[in-house]
Structure 1
Amino acid sequence: MRVIVVGAGEVGSNIAAGLDEDHHVVVIDRDSERVEEVTYSHDVLAIRGDGTAIETLREADVADADLVIASTDVDETNIVVCGAAKAVGDPFTIARVRQTNLLRTWEESMGAFGVDFMVCTDLQTAETIVRIAGLPGAHDVETFAGGLVRMAEFEIGPESPIAGETVSAADRFESLTFVALLREDEVVVPRGETVIRTGDAAVVIGSGESVRSFASALTPAPTLEDAREVVIVGGTEIGYQTARLFEAEGVESRLIERDPGRARELAERLPDTLVLESDATDIDFLVREHVDESDIVVAALESDERNLLVSLLAKRIGVERTIGVVESAAYVDLFETVGIDVGVNPRLVTSEEITRFTREQRTENVAMLESDRAEVLEIEIDADSVLFERSIQSAMADLPDGVVVGAISRAGELITPRGETVVEGGDHVVLFVETAVLNAVAGAL
């Protein structure tokens, strides 16, 4: 497939990295330094130019392109890119936007602006925050098989009850499968005798109930269903969307916004959220408003540094868990080390969603882990699959190392896979696959 990516920033570069192995990728950007950087870092053709210009798109052979992805930091530019691409070719177009109102307009008008698929960064980020907030200690959460199966990633700290245990000893949760341990730069496919180490990230797949039980055993903090209160700091669009989604979940929340006009606007738009007008970096205010009694603080200000400060202050007064928006991907690991329990990078969330969409043509659902070191795939089994009417143990002999069957959904029922489990046609199988063997696996599944 020929793919044109317009915009070589963090989002565009991540998308190019996710697609360059399987497709012919062309990247367009106005910045010569970005063009040079992406040329040396990825197996792509990079062109310096204006992606809204017909001449530049023709230079990239847009007439023969199957897919055009507009991923600059300017919403209007991305929409114009898609319209221009449609004017000289017939590619499938994807636009990244931040403004939720543009997404709503596009949804209401069935493909307005020449855009076939639109991803809203702020809404995707808010949805990610709410998913992570639902499981204490989780760094990544996705659902499969219509919500029947859940995948989650948990960091194993020194106080974790399973640190130092073998996988077989830790596997005491019904309907749960340990599919991987992410250990520094290594992906470990666990066996029964594999020892879980402090610092590992454990990836598990199972029923929602079993994953919640596992999360509660690792981190004795309340789940979202049990949370007394969530505090959101910052009335940005991400903050607003997060509060709106919490309202939809029936979770009591407070939102702190220092700008009087914005606070008034949000109070009108969020009937079930208490909006407070104040500066959340004032520790006296936090103490006076009993923020320490909340279960989760979400820092959604426009500054990474202020989000870190709010998280540190929240921890200092006794808040159990903090989730912070981190606009710079380079800061995520640092901020999670010094003060934020989970850092959510909007650009990474967006690039993963776009890359996921491009890969769903061959799968039912896809989730990417640790900047695409591995993927969790949902596949519907047919007669062409190596798994068809075979036991898992038998089928695994024909697949490379780095593949684990995490769950099976059959006629709406969850089946926890074991070696002797026979996969049937029509089953939805959720698998963990290391990215290094993804191409070898794709044809067999």
Structure 2
Amino acid sequence: MRVIIVGAGEVGSSIAQSLADSHEVVVVDRDEERVDSLTYSIDVLAIEGDGTSLATLQEAGIDQADMVIASTDDDETNLVVCGTAKTIDDPFTIARVKKVDYLDTWEHAEQGAFGVDFMVCTNLLTAMDIVRVIGLPAARDVDPFAGGEVQMAEFEVRADSPVANQTIRQADRFDSLTFAAIIRNGDVDIPGGETVIQADDKVVVIGSPESVQQFALEVAPNETPDADKELVVIGGSEIGFHTARLLEDRDLRPRLIEQNQARARKLAEDLPKTMVMASDATDAEFLAREHVDEADVVVATLENDEKNLLVSVLAKQLGAERSIAVVEDAEYVSLFEAVGIDVAINPREVTAEEITRFTREDRAENIALIENDRAEVLEIEIDADSVLADRPIHEAVADLPSGVVIGAITRNGKFVVPRGDTVIKENDHIVVFVDTDVLNEVNDVI
């Protein structure tokens, strides 16, 4: 498949890297340095130019393109790219936008508006990610699979966690849970039964939502139940608004702090279950006066990374149990984590993952990327040609490369626990953890 990606920033570069091994990828960007960097770092054709220009798209081979992905940081530019592409030929078009208004218009159009076949909304995706993480104690990342019958979650194990220093065998007390990987010092390893879970490890599990929730309570047993959680959203940005709205949808009543008086009034009108306060959240005295120290979760969604870092650190110093921060610059994620912020969510990474997931639907029905694409969790429907079909797992895995864990099976919409003697049948859906190094090999045989 020939794919043209317009925009070589964090999102476009991440998508290009994910697709380069299996597709013919062309990347277009106005920035000469970005184009040069891609030329030498990824096996793609990089073109310097304006992706809204007819001539540039023709130079990129739009007449031969199967897909056009508009991934610049400007919503209107992305819409124009898709519209322009449709005037030349009929490639499948994907547009990245931040404003939910554009998504609403596109969804309500009888046919795809703006010449867009699939639209990805960064602000809404980020808010959904935040809310999923809030719902699981100690979770850093959460993704649903198989229509919600299966859940993948990544947890950070603190030194005071009861799970710390237990072996996988000791921690594995749940019938429908699989320990897929342990991430330690940046390395992704498949654990065995005697592998010891250490403090500061990140543990990736796959299982039924009930078992994942039970394991979360094992990791952090003192976590407040959802209904009683004290939640504070700092910043009335689009991401902050949608985070509060989605929390309201779960019958939770967050507090939201927004400095701009007019914006605060509008948020108060639109969020009936949320207490909206008009104040400067970088004021430590205000945070103390409003008892932010009692918060179970503080979410920072201000307009820049520096302010999000400041208010997150202030909240943690005051005594807030858990902090989640939106980090626009991916290079800052490690900094946030190093100073004690529990979860740092990069909207561009969330968006790149969603677009990558969609572009791979011919091979997998759902995808989650682990540790910046060091590994992937895939949902795959088994056909008659699969090496797994009609074979027990203990026998079939001998034909799979190392770095693969079958985490869950669903059959006719019902969860099936994957054990060694479980026979995988045609039309089963499996959720499988795969090290990126063996991804292509796994796709070929599964």
Q: Per the shorter chain, which TM-score range? A: over 0.9
- Describe how 1:305-316 pairs up with structure 2 within 5 A: 305-316=306-317
What are the ranges of 5 or more consecutive residues in structure 2 without an aligned counterpart?
none
Contact 1:134 1:223 survives alignment (8 Å): no
Match in the other structure for 2:239? 238
Give the corresponding residue for 2:211: 210
Match of 1:66 in 2: 66
CA contact (8 A) 2:236 2:301 kept: yes
- The alignment status of 1:251 with 2:252, answered yes or no, reads yes
Contact in 2 for aligned 1:221/1:320 (Cα 8 Å) = no
Q: Contact (CA 8 Å) 1:408, 1:428: kept in 2 or not?
A: yes
Q: Is the 8 A contact 2:406 2:433 kept in 1?
A: yes
Alpha-carbon distance in structure 1 between the residues aligned to 2:416 and 2:21: 33
Contact 2:68 2:91 in 1 (8 A): yes
Aligned counterparts, 1:171-210, within 5 A: 171-210=172-211
SS of 1:443's equivalent in the other structure is helix
Name the aligned partner's letter for residue 104 of structure 2: R
- Give the superposition deviation at 1:60: 0.6
Decide whether the 8 Å contact of 1:85 with 1:91 is kept in 2: yes
C-alpha deviation, 1:293, in angstroms = 2.0
Residue aligning to 1:277: 278
Q: State whether residues 227 and 252 of structure 2, in contact with CA within 8 Å, keep that contact through their aligned partners in structure 1.
A: no
Per-residue CA shift, 1:320-361, capped at 9, x if unaligned? 011000111001111112031100001111111111111122
For the Cα contact (< 8 Å) 2:183–2:202, is it kept in 1? yes
User: Hey, what's the Cα distance between the residues in 1 that align with 2:89 and 2:436?
Assistant: 32
Q: Does the CA contact (< 8 Å) of 1:10 and 1:348 recur in 2?
A: yes
| Alpha-carbon distance in structure 1 between the residues aligned to 2:295 and 2:161 | 23
Task: Tell me the equivalent position of 1:169.
Answer: 170
Q: Deviations over 1:369-404 (max 9, x none)?
A: 111111111112221211111000111011111111
Partner of 1:296: 297
> Distance between the aligned counterparts of 1:287 and 1:32, measured in 2?
48
**What amino acid is the match of 2:244?**
A
Output the CA distance in 1 between the equivalents of 2:145 and 2:106.
26
Instruction: Assess, with a 3 A threshold, how the Cα gap between structure 1 residues 13 and 320 changes in structure 2: closer, same or farther.
Output: same
Is 2:19 aligned against 1:22? no
Q: Is the 8 A contact 1:11 1:348 kept in 2?
A: yes
Q: Give the Cα separation in 2 of the matches to 1:242 and 1:224.
A: 19
Percent of matched pairs sharing the same residue: 62
State the partner residue of 2:348. 347
| Matched positions, count | 445
Structure 1 residue 313: deviation in Å? Answer: 1.3
Provide the rounded CA distance (Å) in 2 between the counterparts of 1:247 and 1:240.
11
Q: Please tell me the root mean square deviation across aligned C-alpha atoms, in Å.
A: 1.3
1:121 paired residue number: 122
Separation in 2, partners of 1:375, 1:136? 22
Q: Within 1, Cα distance between the matches of 2:242 and 2:54? A: 36
Residues in 2 aligned to 1:425 and 1:72: alpha-carbon distance in whole angstroms:
41
* Residue 193 of structure 1: how far off its partner (Å): 2.2
Amino acid at match of 1:399: L
CA distance in 2, matches of 1:47, 1:266: 43
When normalised by structure 2's length, the TM-score is 0.97
CA contact (8 A) 2:28 2:48 kept: yes
| AA aligned opposite 2:362 | Q
Match of 1:24, as an amino acid?
A: E
Q: Structure 1 unaligned runs (5+)?
A: none
How far apart are the structure 2 equivalents of 1:366 and 1:224? 29
Displacement of 1:40 in angstroms is 1.2
Q: TM-score by structure 1 length?
A: 0.97
**Partner in structure 1 of residue 434 of structure 2:** 433
